Structure 1
Amino acid sequence: MASAVFILDVKGKTLIARDYRGDVPMSAVDRFMPLLLEREEEEQTAIPVMTDQGINYLHVRHNNLYLLALSRKNSNAMTILLFLNKLTEVFAEYFKALEEESIRDNFVIIYELLDEMMDYGHPQTTESKILQEYITQESHKLEVQVRPPMAVTNAVSWRSEGVKYRKNEVFLDVIESVNLLVSSNGNVLRSEILGAIKMKCYLSGMPELRLGLNDKVMFENTGRSSTRTKAVEMEDIKFHQCVRLSRFENDRTISFIPPDGEFELMSYRLNTQVKPLVWCETVVETHTGRIEYMIKAKAQFKRRSTANNVEIIVPVPDDVDSPRFRCSIGVVAYVPEKSALVWKIRQFPGGKEALLRAHFGLPSIKNEEAEKKPPIAVKFEIPYFTVSGIQVRYLKIVEKSGYQALPWVRYITQNGDYHMRMPDPIRSSSRLPPI
């Protein structure tokens, strides 16, 4: 629990202060900046949690502001830091930009929010959608209501009661980003899959949703065979607060009452060896006064899938000139401000290959001895496909009124941090076949 919360400017001057428990002297905030500077000198980095004279200082920095919580008890540091981050999100929702000026212009509403979001040092309602129902930016004061919104008194603080839609629908997107680093000799140095399940819920009432995935642990726990369906073992799973964690821990059922509208239900990671989906083989030849590239791109995924909006960004020396290109598919452009050529392929079917040849003039001799260039970067998006093989087995929607809802599921695989290092240039009197 937090004893007090402060908002400070970049020099440590107090802009807003709220004392919740009265067990910490408010003058203790004067020690924050000296402690922070002292720790940064010692550790060469910012420390979010510090202790001095029996008082814990926990802070986050946002733009030119510090949000600081003081606590005398042995509190849960992560809970308080999470609360401070939620404060920045809520303030940003209200004021558009969270800066020192917006703090000075909105004292009244900030104190109202601090009183609603924390009670006697314990975090309460932190969902901006719910807070905006009864704390309005226009009035700058708490409106008198007959009763507080149901979401405040209800255990489901992220959803209001009385939501109604003429057509009940759920849109579910399974989005996976592939992080990949390939060495200049073609070895995969690092690969992982970062996944997220995002939802848009337009459902009436207080529906109960249950989501089933081809989860390996669930198959093992229930003794079910996963021979028909490939099972996926997810790591570092993070859920939205609406998911019942105890239910998931017991039987791996993802059960929840969703927020209204758009939200991220869960994220996960697979630390696995990923076969590069878009592979690039590169040959670079340097000659006196010119440099030539030959790049072969391969779509190494199933033939029934197609990669959209593929971009292959190849770094070139800073002072090249006279670009000439020839490619079997797509379009190529030289982008001098990025010192790169950009090869764009609008649609790249699985199993296909494409070839690019590029020729540049190289007037400067020093570039022949240039240091290693940045790696090739690849961008792409493959709809109706997940590299991990994760599948939505079912999405059940139960609401006491008994209406029928339409669930829509979409799969997308895209690039994350996807790079391939280039081989060293070949110095040759011969040359690649002429363009």
Structure 2
Amino acid sequence: MVSAVYFCDGRGKPILSRRYRDDIPLSAIDKFAPLLLQLEEESSAIPPCLNHDGIQYLFIQHNDLYVVALTTSLTTNVAQVFAFLHKLMEVLEEYLKSVEEESVRDNFIIIYELLDEMMDYGIPQITETKMLKQYITQKSFKLMKAVKKSKAAPRPPTEVTNSVSWRAPNLLYKKNEAFLDIVESVNMLMNQQGQVLRSEIIGQVKVKSKLSGMPDLKLGINDKGIFSKYVEGDGDPVATTITEGKKKANIELEDLKFHQCVRLSKFENEKIITFIPPDGAFELMSYRLSMPVRPLIWCDVNVQVHSQSRIEIHCRARAQIKKRSIANSVEILIPVPDDADTPAFKYTHGSMKWLPQKNAILWKIRSFTGGKEYSMSAQMGLPSINGLEKPKVKRPVQIKFQVPYFTTSGIQVRYLKITEPKMLYKSYPWVRYITQSGDDYTIKLNT
């Protein structure tokens, strides 16, 4: 249970606060800055939890701000507090676009209103941005000043007082549809010989709901360790099977995170994902997989130094995916020495572009079919070197791509049941799979 939430500047000095309980002194936050300074002098790594005089300081850093939650209880759910602080930043970014010290000072009225609605007596309440935006807007303070006496002040929507605070009960659609996307981002570090040095998969299950009433959804996934007992339908006549198949893959999902609409008790006890979805788009679930992955797009880059201050770059790209799969929007960013100029390109497919501001060559391939191999070469002037000196390029080759209808982990939706007991309408679930490069899909060049 949180006693207070403070916004502090980069030095740890408070600039805005909201107190929910009176069990901590007003001067408690003054100890935060000296504690930070002491820890910075002792170690470069600062823990996000500090204890001083029986008060717990739980904080996150966002831009030039520290957002601090204070509590006196040792039984406080620390994970819940940090989840709330991160969610608070997400909500504020929806309102303020950029959350930093200046924007906090300029919009303190909106922040106070949000803090009052998102937490009550130190317990998180309404954290869904769509619900908050129905009655708290950036212009609400100005509108309240100009409102006429004959008009009543805006009231919170009735759904915030329901047990399902993230969804309005009176939604109605002509065609009831649920769109589910499984998006996996592959992060990988390789050497020039194609050996994988590090790899991981970051997965997201995204849902876009266009369903009437208060539908109840049940999702089945083919994870043997978590969902294998429930991957087949249970004979319910309202079940909609997305993909048939009896083969079960052994997928061990790590760092599972769910949207607040998921019934965690049901998942913990029976390993079933059931939920009443918010209206519109949201992230239902995220996960991480640390597993060896074969490079999907691989490049062999070779740099040759010639006399008369000239270098030549050769690149061979290969799509190491199934032949029936296609990688779309492939971009290969090849770094070159800082003073390289006057490029001349030869390539078998796609398009080439010289990016002097990034000191790199960009090779774009709109459609890369599995099993195919393409090549390119570039000659560039390098006036600052002699014929014996080899230029050094420390930056790696960066690759971007998207492969639809495919997941690297093999995760697959087995069924999606949609039930609305009052309306009993016909629903249409849609599932899409996408594998794409993550923020760190790179090839390390030999120097």
Aligned to 1:169: 177
1:110-149 alignment runs, 5 A limit: 110-140=111-141, 149=157
1:22-421 alignment runs, 5 A limit: 22-74=22-74, 75-140=76-141, 149-218=157-226, 220-221=228-229, 228=247, 230-288=249-307, 289-365=309-385, 368-400=389-421, 401-416=423-438, 417-421=440-444
Residue aligned with 2:80, SS: helix
- Work out the percentage of aligned pairs sharing the same amino acid: 54
2:293 & 2:81 partners in 1: Cα distance?
A: 38
Q: Deviations over 1:243-285 (max 9, x none)?
A: 1222223333211111111111111222221111111123332
How many angstroms does 1:230 deviate by? 4.1
CA contact (8 A) 1:7 1:17 kept: yes
The one-letter amino acid paired with 1:55 is I
CA contact (8 A) 2:337 2:393 kept: no
Name structure 1 gaps, 5 residues minimum.
425-435
Once the two structures are overlaid, the 10-residue window that deviates more, 95-104 or 252-261, is 95-104
The one-letter amino acid paired with 1:359 is Q
2:156 & 2:278 partners in 1: Cα distance?
A: 18
CA contact (8 A) 2:192 2:301 kept: no
Aligned to 2:17: 17
2:231 & 2:124 partners in 1: Cα distance?
A: 41
Once the two structures are overlaid, the 10-residue window that deviates more, 269-278 or 127-136, is 127-136
1:17 & 1:365 partners in 2: Cα distance?
A: 59
How many angstroms does 1:80 deviate by? 2.1
The one-letter amino acid paired with 2:444 is R
CA contact (8 A) 2:135 2:154 kept: no
1:121 & 1:223 partners in 2: Cα distance?
A: 39
CA contact (8 A) 2:343 2:378 kept: yes
CA contact (8 A) 2:40 2:46 kept: yes
How many angstroms does 1:332 deviate by? 1.5
How many angstroms does 1:189 deviate by? 0.9
Name structure 2 gaps, 5 residues minimum.
146-150, 233-243
1:31 & 1:102 partners in 2: Cα distance?
A: 25
How many angstroms does 1:18 deviate by? 2.5
How many angstroms does 1:23 deviate by? 1.2
CA contact (8 A) 1:217 1:252 kept: no
Once the two structures are overlaid, the 10-residue window that deviates more, 152-161 or 220-229, is 220-229
Aligned length: 424
Pair 1:268–1:223, CA change in 2 (3 A)? closer
CA contact (8 A) 2:203 2:287 kept: yes
CA contact (8 A) 1:36 1:47 kept: no
Q: Deviations over 1:410-431 (max 9, x none)?
A: 111111111112345xxxxxxx
The one-letter amino acid paired with 2:191 is S
TM-score, structure 2 length as denominator? 0.87
CA contact (8 A) 1:212 1:395 kept: yes
How many angstroms does 1:46 deviate by? 3.8
Residue aligned with 2:361, SS: strand
2:162 & 2:107 partners in 1: Cα distance?
A: 29
CA contact (8 A) 2:227 2:271 kept: no
CA contact (8 A) 2:192 2:444 kept: yes
How many angstroms does 1:341 deviate by? 1.5
How many angstroms does 1:231 deviate by? 4.7
Residue aligned with 1:365, SS: coil
Once the two structures are overlaid, the 10-residue window that deviates more, 270-279 or 65-74, is 65-74
